[in-house]
């Protein structure tokens, strides 16, 4: 059991793994919700499940929402049906990895969170204005659509090789996804498709603003960092002031100056490398920088 926990911690703390973290959270919520449903069902006490479910799904009236404002976040981490979460996580992985490779984890998380929030509010507004009825909405689709359209806006000519079809440019895949949601607005999943279109709009605007130098992921990142630091233990790594290592990131060769291979990586070196990952992505690190991060993670793991 300890080995599983240590492996999980190591996988969670790997640098530039925003896609993996989003998938892990969604899967944990799905497993937990279904376990609650199962035990509630066999104990013939569905009231427990219903109370929990009503407090994490997004309900279509502002009168209800104002008393449960957190549901604008919880709904897009929640699934109950297996194929619902399966399809969402597959698409998140395919398109999210592309964004993550070129732009880093922060952009993927920013796309997902803003897509989910805007998609949720689009659902609330349309249902309120039109006076539509709904049992509520769950699912990561709005955030996933933001990632899909964001990836297509950033790399429209990138090709995915599809089974039985062959290479297809990303812009066409995104266009098909958006059109399908538009044509299905009158289906039984009207609320979900409204959220999809809201998320898609976010993905397009997010990338257009990023190209102009305005990074919408920054507020999301700062908010997450604030809550993370509240519960974050003090680092095991300390900067030695007796023998300082020079730490710098050159704009010309984009390389971090680090201690010798056999020395213990200082926190300042690690911080510089993590800053570089945030700005350029993990793939932009040099081989030496990746080794430094690996050594630091192994030392921390051994101390646990």
pLDDT, one tens digit per residue, over 128-160 is 988 888 889 999 999 999 999 999 999 999 998
Q: Which pLDDT does position 118 carry in this prediction?
A: 97
Q: Which pLDDT does position 257 carry in this prediction?
A: 52
Q: Are 202 and 147 in contact (CB under 8 A)?
A: no
C-alpha 8/C-alpha 25 separation (Å) is 12
| pLDDT-above-70 percentage for the chain | 83
Return all residues near 124 (Cβ < 8 A) that are at least 6 apart.
58, 60, 61, 62, 65
Q: Which pLDDT does position 246 carry in this prediction?
A: 44
Dihedrals phi, psi of 169, to nearest 5 degrees? -70, 145
Q: Which pLDDT does position 238 carry in this prediction?
A: 47
Residue 148, token pair as written in the block: 């899909």
Q: Which pLDDT does position 161 carry in this prediction?
A: 86
Q: Which pLDDT does position 5 carry in this prediction?
A: 80
Q: What is the CA radius of gyration of the chain?
A: 22
Return all residues near 214 (Cβ < 8 A) that are at least 6 apart.
none
Q: Which pLDDT does position 242 carry in this prediction?
A: 40
Q: Which pLDDT does position 164 carry in this prediction?
A: 80
Q: Are 65 and 59 in contact (CB under 8 A)?
A: yes
Q: Which pLDDT does position 259 carry in this prediction?
A: 47
* Domains parsed from the chain with CATH numbers: 2-225 (1.20.1540.10), 234-303 (no CATH)
Question: Per-residue pLDDT for the chain (304 aa), expressed as one digit of tens each?
Answer: 667 787 777 778 888 899 999 999 999 999 999 999 999 999 988 999 999 999 999 998 888 899 999 999 999 999 999 999 999 999 999 999 999 999 999 999 999 999 999 999 999 999 998 888 888 999 999 999 999 999 999 999 999 888 888 899 999 999 999 999 999 998 889 999 999 999 999 999 999 999 999 999 999 999 988 887 877 665 554 444 344 444 444 444 455 554 444 445 567 777 777 777 766 666 677 777 777 877 777 666 555 5
Instruction: Measure Cα distances from 85 to 67, 74, 93, 134, 269 in Å.
Output: 27, 14, 12, 20, 39
Q: What is the b/e burial string over 100-111, where b = at least 16 CB atoms within 10 angstroms of the residue's CB?
A: bbbbbbbbbbbb
HSE-CB for 53 with a 13 A CA cutoff = 19
Instruction: Measure Cα distances from 246 to 4, 67, 249, 267 in Å.
Output: 37, 52, 10, 12
The residue with tokens 């009158």 is 186
* Full-model pTM: 0.76
């Amino acid at each position: 059991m300890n080995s599983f926990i240590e492996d999980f911690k190591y996988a969670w703390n790997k640098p530039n793994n925003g896609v993996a973290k989003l998938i892990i959270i969604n899967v944990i919520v799905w497993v937990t919700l279904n376990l609650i449903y199962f035990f509630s069902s066999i104990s013939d006490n569905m009231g427990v499940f219903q109370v929990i479910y009503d407090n994490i799904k997004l309900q279509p009236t502002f009168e209800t929402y104002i008393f449960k404002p957190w549901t604008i976040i919880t709904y897009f981490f929640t699934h109950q049906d297996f194929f619902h979460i399966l399809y969402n996580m597959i698409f998140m992985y395919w398109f999210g990895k592309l964004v993550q490779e070129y732009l880093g984890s922060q952009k993927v998380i920013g796309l997902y969170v803003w897509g989910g929030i805007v998609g949720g509010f689009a659902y609330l507004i349309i249902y309120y204005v039109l006076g539509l009825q709904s049992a509520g909405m769950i699912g990561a689709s709005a955030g996933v659509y933001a990632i899909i359209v964001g990836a297509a806006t950033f790399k429209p000519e990138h090709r995915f090789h599809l089974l039985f079809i062959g290479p297809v440019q990303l812009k066409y895949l995104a266009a098909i996804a958006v059109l399908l949601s538009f044509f299905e607005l009158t289906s039984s999943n009207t609320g979900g498709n409204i959220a999809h279109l809201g998320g898609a709009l976010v993905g397009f605007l997010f990338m257009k603003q990023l190209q102009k130098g305005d990074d919408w992921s920054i507020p999301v990142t700062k908010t997450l960092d604030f809550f993370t630091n509240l519960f974050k233990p003090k680092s095991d790594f300390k900067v030695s002031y007796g023998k300082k290592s020079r730490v710098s990131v050159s704009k010309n060769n984009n390389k971090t100056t680090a201690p010798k291979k056999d020395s213990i990586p200082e926190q300042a070196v690690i911080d510089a490398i993590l800053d570089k990952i945030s700005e350029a992505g993990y793939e932009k690190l040099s081989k030496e920088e990746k080794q430094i991060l690996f050594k630091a993670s192994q030392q921390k793991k051994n101390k646990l």
